[in-house]
Structure 1
């Protein structure tokens, strides 16, 4: 919509009111293009002509011209790929005030809690995508309805809503949705990647239709922090799609470019975005996300770490969660040294750190653990004890607010969720090689996300039960994460790999009869299989690993072999010799 006001010489109570104020029955000052309340709350401010027959008086105090918002329809210059439908199945997720195809801004629902709507009150200039008069002459009018810049697939901006609804919380390297306009116009590579990810959560859209557009946009984009963000998000998505080879390549390029640009240095963010605290924070988060994903690719896809311990990093850690969501920064972000030395501070001087800080520390511990498996010689026992102490310290020094990742409103802190997953995986990688769990046939089953097990077999297993107990305890911790009554679709795709590790440790424990009863292990394996099944429609790697975990579990638990009734004689466990002699269930799974 566009409005012009003329001859407003006398201040009187406004006869106009925007939709948001009308719905809340609040007094509106009628200021355009956005009223004071909408500016303060960062809401989308929309006006419609009065339906009560109001007309300006003869003095012409208000002369308002109204231009309806164009409907979002595909540009006639573009043909939608096969399988694309412009009507989303979950239209209730209106995180961004973008009219859906077939609607106009006047029909949107401006509820009282829509604090995350994108504001559309920016002054008209050549950088403002909402200023339709600056988009150039000759463009089709239908193509001007989107609040986003040029795109390959018109009318699909609602996919950004799905990205923020299902993916953003687990990897929040972009601004919160209400600060997204600060990045406008969105770089083409980043916009294409966001929509590609969002398409995975819409039932009637084929994400493959966006695959080539993402690759082309990234290849054509110049080197910048936004290209790093696009490559990083793409690598995570490709891993979930079981395109793991391409995912590793995308991440390797993201890490190389991040270090080339100097994103690991404090001075980089201000040099790119100035003193904008919101954008500086998201550039810092991007670097630390690269650092964390490096550990996960190394652990689950057996690639050497791209960021070694010798890389200088003086970029501050992410700020606290409230500052990030509100954009109000009252304190300086902490340094890595301040966070790591917090355990020696006096209690009265201690402060709250963000969930990201604890997740970064967990990733650092995982990197230390993985370095032992790549070492040419067997690790010294002192090194193992040192990392084990580090893992224990991580749990002991969690503040009370971070120990429960499920809040009273059933919302999960996705970053703390990932932090617990990482620390449990570190414990499994540390203790399993030192236990007798690797002496079972399950340990050499080649399942995606668990190929590192074969590398660990070079270590001579110990008869010390302490390592086996700690490994099983970590596997139970991963199963407990899967047991949370929360939408698993919002978790990081890497959680699928964590569940694979948990299931294999449980199956190894069943093979060596680590306890007198198989039922608790069986129940946890069933839980993990159920969670993998629920993620299958979104991430194809989940379907693959679920199928092979089932195959291994049938052999270990002797499903379909046991007699209908349990014998009164004590169960001696599965016949390991028979399993070893049968290699039908140990077929190597191709990487791709």
Structure 2
């Protein structure tokens, strides 16, 4: 009967990929058609080429070709397709009447099918899986989620809607909870954490730093780092219990990333003892088949061996732990022996070799495990931060004459005398650290070539791409005549193209991209 109702619907000139592949009629509702909404299928649309006008651009096409961007962002929603305005501005109220508690997943109770909430779960949640899974908003758990947290999720989701000004409509409600000092619970930690990511992605570094520090303070104050917190505040819901564990570990990850990308910020949780169990597998969490692990951070530090089975989220935590070790080394006032640096390099390389495949058990070129993607990204970043201070390759003059508007792409200088400039090329024999530095940047930038859409990557991928471009630009100054110039230029073009794709979502990506273009052009003039 369900199939009949779909079949009788008026056909649409646009069809999503799942309906098209099954030769079924699609009502083409955005962002999720009715059929995919009912079956819980990921709903994807291919950008329509109808009605598109050709534009002439003065922009350097070698740096940012539209064809490359469309390939990188293949599943972006067509900008000329709109969501029903009535559904956009319905107030978010998860507190439904008592008789709607036992709703069927095929029935739309409101919150779970809100367009902006759907965009949040489709695009942002896989990168930062903290709040409860979307299907659990369609259960009694929706009563426990405060409206201000849903407002933040809706604001984040609006970033992925084709009409950029729309997100401003949701901004005030998203930040309203910050003015209420009485909100001191795990949900407020989640709110502060999500807003810190958003503020970082909007170039508001000071606000992001303040929010993440407030979140850390609140988490430690309410005892989120204690293993008992999750069970005592879950109201008997295993999904919510797992969400609290993930909240602490997501805070750990974001604290580490912001610390690395803002050199004066401490990685506070790196030095804090926590006995919280590590997160379970993503499939378990999203299917509500929670099987808590008994593993802790201490197990990762002291008892884990490469090849031992841990969740992909735990691999991500291990990656940030390695990053924290590098940050502690670089911020130490004592000079580290080469043997210590080699040991850290070996640990990071071993962690990379221990990662499971990006595409999980069955290879699907259109999807990947975002936790493993980020684990790779963070480990390559750790290698860059490890080897840059030790290498004889520098790129300092651009930062001297053009201070970056964001600190996330700054590579700290060291006391070594050799400095590359943008005005001349030095004939250097690159040392081992320089080769490892370039190799790490190569591997990190290659993550932008994955066939799945780049628009759903973590906003932190922006800074990683910017750092790769800086390393490759610096390398370009010292490889003249070696035959590597074209390869490095291709890497730079790839990074700038990926930043442009991310720039459709996050202002930080647009700022970093322009900064990198200016740097590249200045080097070319030199």
Fold similarity call, TM over 0.5: yes
In structure 1, runs of 5+ residues without a counterpart are 1-18, 26-88, 95-107, 118-126, 136-144, 150-155, 559-578, 580-592
Does 1:521 find its partner at 2:488? yes
Does 1:247 find its partner at 2:208? yes
Residues 407-449 of structure 1 deviation map (CA, whole Å, 9 limit, x = unaligned): 4242021111111111111100110111111266356563355
Q: 1:229 aligns with which of 183, 190, 200?
A: 190
> What is the CA–CA distance in structure 1 between the aligned matches of 2:152 and 2:37, rounded to whole Å?
30
Does 1:455 find its partner at 2:412? yes
Distance 1:146 1:370, change over 3 A: same
Shift of residue 217, structure 1, vs aligned partner: 2.3
Shift of residue 213, structure 1, vs aligned partner: 2.0
> What is the CA–CA distance in structure 1 between the aligned matches of 2:360 and 2:403, rounded to whole Å?
34
- Further displaced range: 274-283 or 208-217: 208-217
Q: Does the CA contact (< 8 Å) of 1:443 and 1:504 recur in 2?
A: no
> What is the CA–CA distance in structure 1 between the aligned matches of 2:279 and 2:451, rounded to whole Å?
28
> What is the CA–CA distance in structure 1 between the aligned matches of 2:416 and 2:190, rounded to whole Å?
38
Residues 387-415 of structure 1 deviation map (CA, whole Å, 9 limit, x = unaligned): 1111111123234x458799424202111
Q: In the alignment, what sits opposite 2:199? A: 238
Instruction: Return the TM-score normalized by structure 2.
Output: 0.75
> What is the CA–CA distance in structure 1 between the aligned matches of 2:281 and 2:335, rounded to whole Å?
40
Q: 2:127 aligns with which of 148, 156, 170?
A: 170
Does 1:474 find its partner at 2:440? yes
Q: Does the CA contact (< 8 Å) of 2:201 and 2:509 recur in 1?
A: yes
Does 1:184 find its partner at 2:147? no
Distance 1:522 1:161, change over 3 A: same
Higher share in helix: 2
Distance 1:292 1:522, change over 3 A: same
Residues 146-170 of structure 1 deviation map (CA, whole Å, 9 limit, x = unaligned): 7349xxxxxx932101111111110
Bigger relative CO (Cα 8 Å, ≥ 6 apart) = 2
> What is the CA–CA distance in structure 2 between the aligned matches of 1:407 and 1:196, rounded to whole Å?
33
Q: 2:172 aligns with which of 205, 212, 223?
A: 212
Q: In the alignment, what sits opposite 1:197? A: 156
> What is the CA–CA distance in structure 1 between the aligned matches of 2:38 and 2:411, rounded to whole Å?
55
Q: Does the CA contact (< 8 Å) of 1:440 and 1:512 recur in 2?
A: no
Distance 1:552 1:21, change over 3 A: closer
Q: Does the CA contact (< 8 Å) of 1:265 and 1:314 recur in 2?
A: yes
Q: In the alignment, what sits opposite 1:411? A: 367
> What is the CA–CA distance in structure 2 between the aligned matches of 1:320 and 1:521, rounded to whole Å?
37
* Correspondences of 1:162-561 after superposition (within 5 Å): 162-180=119-137, 181=139, 182-204=141-163, 205-220=165-180, 222-330=183-291, 332-341=293-302, 343-344=304-305, 352-399=309-356, 401-402=357-358, 407-438=363-394, 441-442=397-398, 444=400, 446-448=403-405, 450=407, 453=410, 455-458=412-415, 465-513=431-479, 515-558=482-525
> What is the CA–CA distance in structure 1 between the aligned matches of 2:460 and 2:36, rounded to whole Å?
36
Q: In the alignment, what sits opposite 1:158? A: 115
* Correspondences of 1:118-133 after superposition (within 5 Å): 129-131=95-97
> What is the CA–CA distance in structure 2 between the aligned matches of 1:403 and 1:394, rounded to whole Å?
18
SS in 2 for 1:201: coil
Q: Does the CA contact (< 8 Å) of 2:116 and 2:154 recur in 1?
A: yes
Cα-Cα RMSD: 3.2
> What is the CA–CA distance in structure 2 between the aligned matches of 1:404 and 1:508, rounded to whole Å?
35
Q: In the alignment, what sits opposite 1:563? A: none
Residues 350-379 of structure 1 deviation map (CA, whole Å, 9 limit, x = unaligned): 753211111100101111111222223333
In structure 2, runs of 5+ residues without a counterpart are 8-27, 44-92, 102-107, 420-428
- Further displaced range: 317-326 or 471-480: 317-326
Instruction: Return the TM-score normalized by structure 1.
Output: 0.67
> What is the CA–CA distance in structure 2 between the aligned matches of 1:167 and 1:406, rounded to whole Å?
23
